[in-house]
A and B are shown apart, each in its own frame.
Chain A
Amino acid sequence: QQQVKQSPQSLIVQKGGISIINCAYENTAFDYFPWYQQFPGKGPALLIAIRPDVSEKKEGRFTISFNKSAKQFSLHIMDSQPGDSATYFCAARGDYKLSFGAGTTVTVRA
């Protein structure tokens, strides 16, 4: 049962461009939606997170947009940099656990 769907699987963006990753969830009991950044061979690191009573949250170049009625949320990476090249996972929390999306590999070309 796939509770969190993430797209695209991969994307390539030019330095300075905008990366957009989308996620959709099914379980309306989810109460917290974090995004994790993962570099090869490393553990997921929290990037930014949002709760369902907020429609947008911005931290530096990273913004989460949240649409509760559509059960969708997205990550925008503004002014993408080569150091942003990584795999990004959306997740949703419910019942003591995180359900992860399949991940998006972002490649930022210099």
Chain B
Amino acid sequence: EPEVTQTPSHQVTQMGQEVILRCVPISNHLYFYWYRQILGQKVEFLVSFYNNEISEKSEIFDDQFSVERPDGSNFTLKIRSTKLEDSAMYFCASSETTEETQYFGPGTRLLVL
């Protein structure tokens, strides 16, 4: 069964450093998303992406964040200068259309020290 994959599974970084989280969405999916989950809290939407453009973004997704589809398979989330409060589990998701179910990857646990 096709699945969304994410790398790395864990990332530890120093405050102020840049991190790039990588995702490989399901191959025939056209819509891509990033969500995050701070420990013990609910899953929060960050951004949606379609046709090489951001479709929607939340207030969390400020200028420190960017997304990119650098090739035909990868979808990345970059945090330019990490803060302590960026520590969370980051989930990538994809869907075939906006009408279809979003499938989530296993997540990247980011710890900012």
A contacts, CB < 8 Å to B: 32, 34, 36, 41-46, 49, 89, 91, 93, 95-103
Contact = CB atoms under 8 A, between A and B. Distances in A.
Given A99-B45, A103-B42, A46 B31 contact: no
B103 interface: yes
Interface of B: 4, 31, 33, 35, 41-45, 48, 50, 55-56, 58, 91, 98-99, 101-107
A103 B89 CA distance: 15
Q: Is the interface of A mostly helix, strand, loop or mixed?
A: strand
22 contacts: A36-B104, A42-B106, A42-B107, A43-B4, A43-B91, A43-B104, A43-B105, A46-B101, A46-B102, A46-B103, A49-B101, A89-B42, A96-B48, A97-B48, A97-B56, A97-B58, A98-B33, A98-B35, A98-B43, A99-B45, A100-B42, A100-B43
A96 B107 CA distance: 20
Contacts of A43: 4, 91, 104-107
Nearest to A4: B42
Given A44-B43, A89-B43, A103-B42, A98 B107 contact: no
A36 B102 CA distance: 10
Contacts of B42: 89, 100-103
Contacts of A95: 56
A51 to B, nearest CB: 10
Contacts of B101: 34, 46, 49
Contacts of A100: 42-44
A6 B86 CA distance: 25
Contacts of B43: 44, 89, 91, 98, 100
A96 B98 contact: yes
Contacts of B4: 43
Given A43-B91, A46-B102, A98-B33, 12 more contacts: A41-B107, A42-B107, A43-B104, A93-B102, A96-B31, A96-B98, A97-B58, A98-B35, A98-B45, A98-B102, A100-B42, A100-B43
